Amino acid sequence: MKKTRTTIFGLAVALATSMATAQDVKGDVKAGAGKVAMCIGCHGIPGYKASFPEVHKVPMISGQSAGYISAALHAYQKGERRHPTMRGIADSLSDQDIADVAAYYSSQVQGEGGAAPARQPSASVAPLLQKGACVSCHGDNFSKPIDGAYPKIAGQYADYLFVALKSYKVDHGSYVGRSNGVMAGIAKQFTNAELKEIAKYVGSLDGDLRVVPQSRFR
């Protein structure tokens, strides 16, 4: 088990390093506020649900790290993430646009995540978290990632987390799936039922993520 965790950690660090170049562009919060018109129709509506590849709440991104938002949008541009709507949106953005949007949403952080979890995992979930070495990348309480390119996941919608985890198990597909060597290796260790249990626990934790409602569309 120790060797497995060490290998996963090494792969995670290598992947984060490879993402650094795309994230070198400095984002501007004020500029980003004027560039989120395509985002607020989903991410600015509390409880809004997507219907593809199955019905689930769209993820909370207010309070997410700028590095992760940037990395995710670049992954959609490169086809490493294959959700058609998000790929279309990402393709319309320049590196500067992505940096600005990421800066805007990361500025909406509220409170301080990373404290000891208020809810300890059950006897059935604890070994799953250990097997996946989840905390080695996502950090304390799953809110302090070891690198900005990795997401905060504490408190994220459980149904979204479940869909995201399953997407790493899809090797080929024009419209679904995510290509990520680290997460693919982790997700494929688990059944979908186990992934759902992990998602349910992580989603039950307190974290930085939230939805900032928009009063109007721009």
Q: Which residue has the higher pLDDT, 169 or 115?
A: 169
pLDDT interval class at 5 (50, 70, 90): low
Query: What is the percentage of the chain residues whose pLDDT exceeds 90?
Result: 79
**3 state DSSP class of 90:** helix
Going by the DSSP 8-state scheme, the letter that residue 178 receives in this structure is B
Indicate whether 216 pLDDT > 70.
Answer: no
Q: pLDDT tens across 12-52, in order?
A: 555 555 454 555 899 999 999 999 999 999 999 999 999 99
- Calpha distance 49→47 (Å, rounded): 6
pLDDT of the residue at 172: 77
Q: Extract the tokens encoding 55.
A: 């019905």
pLDDT of the residue at 45: 94
Buried b (16+ CB within 10 A) or exposed e, 43-57: bbeeeeebeebeebb
* Residue labelled with tokens 């198990």: 169
Q: pLDDT tens across 87-121, in order?
A: 999 999 999 999 999 999 999 987 665 555 668 99
Q: What is the dihedral of CA 132, 134, 136, 142, to 10 degrees?
A: -170
CB atoms within 10 A of CB 154: 25
Query: What is the percentage of the chain residues whose pLDDT exceeds 70?
Result: 84
Indicate whether 144 pLDDT > 70.
Answer: yes
Indicate whether 9 pLDDT > 50.
Answer: yes
pLDDT interval class at 174 (50, 70, 90): confident
Q: pLDDT tens across 41-80, in order?
A: 999 999 999 999 999 999 999 999 999 999 999 999 999 9
pLDDT interval class at 171 (50, 70, 90): confident
- Calpha distance 83→168 (Å, rounded): 12
Indicate whether 3 pLDDT > 60.
Answer: no
- Calpha distance 83→100 (Å, rounded): 22
pLDDT of the residue at 100: 98
pLDDT of the residue at 119: 83
pLDDT of the residue at 173: 76
Q: Which residue has the higher pLDDT, 154 or 172?
A: 154
pLDDT of the residue at 18: 46
